[in-house]
Chains A and B, each alone.
Chain A
Amino acid sequence: MRSVLNDLTSIASAINMTYQQKLSSMANIGERLVDPRVSLGYTDEEMIYIENDMICDLNEGYLPYRPRYIVPDYDVFVRNGCDFLDIKPPTDLDTLLDGLLILYRHVPSITSFPVYIGRLDQLIDPFIRDEASDYTKIKRFLNHIDKTIVDSFCHGNIGPSQTRAGYLILKAVVELQNPTPNLTLLYDAHLTSKDFALEAVKTCLLAAKPSFSNQVMYQKDVGNHGIVSCYNALPLAGGAYTLLRLRLGTMAKKADSTKQFIEDILPEVAIKMATMMDKRVKYMVEQSNFFETSFLIKEGFISQENFTAMFGIVGLADAVNHLLKLEGILETFGQSIRGDEIGHKILSTLEQIVDQHEAPYLQRTDGHYLLHAQVGADLSPEDKDNTPAHRIKVGQEPILPIHLTQSASFHKYFKSGTGDLFAFDQTYLDHLDALLDIIQGAFSEGYRYITTYLQNSDLIRVTGYLVKRSDVERFNHNQVVLRDTDIFGSGTNNNANVFNRQTRTYK
């Protein structure tokens, strides 16, 4: 969406933003003052869909001067250090952690904060000497990240194999109770030990992270990758140029039948979104000079050949609910066989469209965009009618086993990421193996990614990232909060009521 000069004035004088938040907001507004018809060559037809909210560009600017998400291969730093920053290769834990913290400052992204900080346990483990003192360092390192990378989209990975560093990281995560960094265990039943998996399950109940990602499935679909931002699976040493999303809920409101939606509206809008993405990618590669100037490229942390881009959707539930109504069926998505049918028809049609579209500079993914189940990190009122991704609307969820199986069937479409989250009650803390059974079952049914947390904790999952319930409440009372994601959290909760997701209890 384009901005106007007045947006700058209101941000400059806002009462509930930090200096840093104002700075990046104003930069973003500046980038949206230009007319994308001029800067990127968007057509009037394409612009219509941004203006009528069917396509959301997540406020990516119209002079894209860096990729949205960057997934550096931090092993390069361990091997070579960094020439540009004049840092030698690390020789011990101190120089490793110090070097990483410096590097993170220089990894761009859409928010200016790094969305991927590496496979932390693998980076750290070779440097572990004395567990007690090394633990203190790891904990300090993680806390430093939380206080300086003030954006919960910042994501670290651990696993699949257990390491001493992996255990120390989990221990620190529980003690710190910080929202950042987001954390994912790359889970592979053949490589991840039962003990480490159970430790991760416990940590997740106590600190709302790590989440579990289906390493086997992602490795097959994306190859070497990192889990970044919310739960996006993106090529390692590359990333994603851009992410736009279709608001299926908004689009469906214009339909007068399921058939018309799937055969006319969906292809029309989807192709417009793909061509807009093409233009963004081209600008980045051909005009921004990012790939010519960044030391990350020159020193081999990333390469342009490893970049893809994400074709997002939100609001499947809302679209399906609307089409069910048109068909005269009094059911809702999540508890409707016809609803699932419509959902699959929409997504398989979209999959075809995306697979037929030849996109520029996308060698890594065979010239095609990857579908992404986006979770509505947006303050826009239109997101009220667009439930995150393919999720079931809060309040319309079936019982847990049916919920899992229903959602599992939709994970296959989303190669660049999707995930579901479930709140559990206290009793699972004494029965971690029961929760691990559920996670493994979900993976066997086709889940890509699953998160669990305790309903009553202060750290809460909004849609993929973490916020502190208390911080969101503070923001809602017009007080300044540290993280931009706290602000998103407030908007998303107001729109989607996610703080009241069904708790899974044993009766």
Chain B
Amino acid sequence: MNQKILVNQIIPFSNVDGEGNRCSIFVQGCQLNCLYCHNSETIQTCRNCGICIEHCPSHALSFQSNLVIYEESQCSHCDTCIMVCPYQSTPKAKAYTQDDLMARIEIYRPYIRGVTLSGGEPTLYADFLTGLAQKIKKLGLTVYIDSNGFFDFEATSPLINIVDGFLLDIKAVDNIEHLCGIKSQLHLKNLEKLLGINKVIEVRTVLLNKHMDQMNTLNQVVDRLEGYPQVPYRLIRAHVTGLKKVQEAYIGEAIMTEEEFVAYGDYLNQKGFHNFKLQR
């Protein structure tokens, strides 16, 4: 199979994308556009507009037959290109076949427990990743999907069946359109279905004031987690680091103080829900 997908980056060893040491593969492309997205350059694919080329201080970018070409060996990883891109993209994403990705994973295999497919939104590439996941599983590794929750369950079922589980975002409920630009409650339905077949590794919510229905989101998640004591809920405090200037200008004042954030943990405790982690 020579089909390729665009990959934003591969992190050989990650300790925050599920249990143990894992390789994380970040695909390029996401159908949402969340206000606090701190890697918004993964959202769109590059339009080859060329704007970033002249800003690169290391001459790592160039035009070749109307395509922006990235020369990794020249790159100083200053991320200027990402900063100046007006289209939430990066010139540094690379196309990989399944075999290319497997070759990388093989190198990391002895030291990792599994691979986490992240993004971007991995379910956008469900077919490709189903094949990849089959190959990864053959190595005796686990496969997790880090997803925003908005996917067609039936159409995605081959991927769902082959992987070990999901790290699932429930970003908001009532305010999801304002926060992420999508008008749908599919994420909650998918959470229920995934819980029903024992495929949820962890649920995550990023907390921010003002732009989301914090309490409601927490309640909705916790209600659904009742009866699944093995599934932890991770609350993550939104931060300004990694945000673009425009994002920061818009949501900067809505970033919670640590006290405000911790209060949500207290709330969960009062509610009698204790299996949560706070990521300050």
Contact = CB atoms under 8 A, between A and B. Distances in A.
B13 A434 contact: yes
Contact of B15 (A404, A405, A506): A506
A314 interface: no
A326 interface: no
B12 A428 contact: no
Contacts of A435: 15, 21
B201 to A, nearest CB: 14
B15 A431 contact: yes
B11 A506 contact: yes
A506 B16 contact: yes
Interface string B95-135: 00000000000011011110000000000000000000000
Nearest to B77: A507
A459 to B, nearest CB: 22
Quick one: which of B20, B107, B112 has the most chain A CB within 10 A?
B20
A405 B16 CA distance: 23
A437 B112 contact: yes
A506 B15 CA distance: 7
A441 B20 contact: no
Contact of B107 (A402, A430, A506): A402
Contact of A405 (B11, B110, B113): B110
A399 B112 CA distance: 15
B19 interface: yes
Interface in B1-58: 11-16, 19-22
B113 A401 contact: no
Given A442-B111, A507-B11, A437 B21 contact: yes
B18 to A, nearest CB: 10
The size bracket of the interface on B is 10 to 19
Nearest to A430: B15
A74 to B, nearest CB: 36
Nearest to B113: A437
B268 to A, nearest CB: 19
A438 interface: yes
A224 interface: no
A22 interface: no
A433 interface: yes
Interface in A482-499: none
A405 B111 CA distance: 10
Nearest to A439: B111
A91 interface: no
Contacts of B22: 434
A404 B111 CA distance: 9
Main secondary structure of the interface of A (DSSP, over half): helix
A427 interface: yes
Interface in A417-460: 427-428, 430-431, 433-435, 437-438, 441-442, 444-445
Among A401, A428, A430, chain B packs the most CB atoms within 10 A around the CB of: A401
B12 A444 contact: no
Contacts of B110: 404-405, 441-442, 444-445
Contacts of B12: 399-401
Interface string B156-186: 0000000000000000000000000000000
Nearest to B17: A506
Interface in A93-123: none
A469 interface: no
Given A442-B111, A445-B110, A433 B13 contact: no
A389 B138 CA distance: 37
A504 interface: yes
A155 B43 CA distance: 53
B200 to A, nearest CB: 19
A430 B280 CA distance: 12
A437 B20 contact: yes
Contacts of B111: 401, 404, 437-438, 441-442
Contacts of A434: 13-15, 20-22
Nearest to A429: B15
Contact of B13 (A405, A430, A442, A504): A504
A430 B108 CA distance: 21
B207 to A, nearest CB: 19
Contacts of B13: 400-401, 434, 438, 504, 506
A385 to B, nearest CB: 28
Given A401-B107, A405-B107, A437-B21, A431 B112 contact: no
A120 to B, nearest CB: 29
Contacts of B21: 431, 433-435, 437-438, 441
Given A435-B21, A441-B112, 5 more contacts: A400-B12, A430-B15, A434-B15, A438-B21, A441-B111
**6 residue pairs, one from A and one from B, having the closest CB atoms:** A441-B111, A431-B15, A434-B15, A437-B21, A434-B21, A441-B110
28 contacts: A399-B12, A400-B12, A400-B13, A401-B13, A401-B107, A402-B107, A404-B110, A404-B111, A405-B110, A427-B15, A427-B16, A431-B15, A431-B21, A433-B19, A434-B13, A434-B14, A434-B22, A435-B15, A435-B21, A437-B111, A437-B113, A438-B111, A441-B110, A441-B111, A441-B112, A442-B110, A442-B111, A506-B15
